[in-house]
Structure 1
């Protein structure tokens, strides 16, 4: 039976994207997000206004969308409570966030030079999309929807249907963020710092 309930979170299950950007001084930033969708050769990214990623996108207009596979859940979780913003905004500090200038190092991930944009790619991600910002749209009081154009796609050849430019869905197992929890391979993968910091009422947290 359906019940009428005002849900506090709408994170039904979306792929995790590691968004790499650079600031005005050329420093690389890496941020996990799961509010992204694609249509044709464009993507829409929903990002909090106070984040370093939003600032970099506004000022530099470039990014790389690195799609994380399920086996990178641990690396992504290392980034979950880190921010490049210094000092840490009070709202994030209250949720346990701390400042970290070297996000790649903290996550144990490798910078790989892009070809058309300044931000680096993530070597460990099998799908890397070099993008430029073409527009931005205010989205409620705290977020912005950034519209980006995919300039170049890099895909691990083992994921392609042989002889085509299509990704083989059987070869691609994306890391999925579902209500702040990590899923892949059809199962819950590991405890989530994000879910714990946001005090999500999940059985996974009660069992820890």
Structure 2
């Protein structure tokens, strides 16, 4: 057996897909983009972990609609271009050392907005998967209240045609190459090592 060692990691990002949330700014109907790596799906609900000091959380409290855009690995540089920015004009004190205000992340990240069908925030055209969603629940995280767990129900899913298996609603796994965030580094998907008994063939 391999021996173990008790450690105290500064982060617990062992490997999660990156998502780009587009949310509506209150008042002017422009949209903000927020990169996150705390996101996972349970049936048709996405569970998102969001900082209360960020623009996305503030927007969702006002509007409750969003698009969960899933980039592929080729977009990692676009993600990083907006990673140190915030849509909050008065940058929170704890972020000022590393973050700066950016009102137009679309141009900075070289992203293209596309109208959504059932929600107000736009989709990101470059992302191969774009899921229109609506918030169904918000739960404070932790005793200090710095973050919130958001449940968002997926209402409509858009996928680049080249990513689909023709004549089905299945994703072509040989074409899908999501970008993963692992201990603050970007990784693409590795080789397939097996298939679950639940996989639809």
- Judge same fold: TM > 0.5, yes or no: yes
* Residue number in structure 2 paired with 1:122: 124
Structure 1 outlier segments of 4+, above 4 Å = none
* Unmatched tracts of structure 2, length 5 or more: 192-201
* Residue number in structure 2 paired with 1:17: 19
Q: How far, CA to CA, are the matches of 1:162 and 1:12 in structure 2?
A: 34
Q: Which of 63, 66, 75 lines up with 2:66 in the alignment?
A: 63
Residue 162 of structure 1: how far off its partner (Å)? 2.1
Q: How far, CA to CA, are the matches of 1:148 and 1:159 in structure 2?
A: 24
* Residue number in structure 1 paired with 2:106: 104
Once the two structures are superposed, what CA deviation does each residue of 1:15-46 show, in whole Å capped at 9, x if it has no partner?
A: 11010001211121001001000011111000
| SS of equivalent residue, structure 2 residue 57 | helix
Normalized per residue, the structure richer in helix is 1
Residue 178 of structure 1: how far off its partner (Å)? 0.6
Once the two structures are superposed, what CA deviation does each residue of 1:129-178 show, in whole Å capped at 9, x if it has no partner?
A: 00000010111231101000000000112111222111121110001111
* Residue number in structure 2 paired with 1:197: none
Paired residues of 2:180 and 2:189 also in contact (CA < 8 A): no
- State the number of aligned residues: 186
Residue 8 of structure 1: how far off its partner (Å)? 1.9
* Unmatched tracts of structure 1, length 5 or more: 188-208
Q: How far, CA to CA, are the matches of 1:18 and 1:33 in structure 2?
A: 6
* Residue number in structure 1 paired with 2:30: 27
1:44 matches 2:35? no
Q: How far, CA to CA, are the matches of 1:22 and 1:66 in structure 2?
A: 14
Q: How far, CA to CA, are the matches of 1:24 and 1:7 in structure 2?
A: 37
Q: How far, CA to CA, are the matches of 2:94 and 2:30 in structure 1?
A: 24
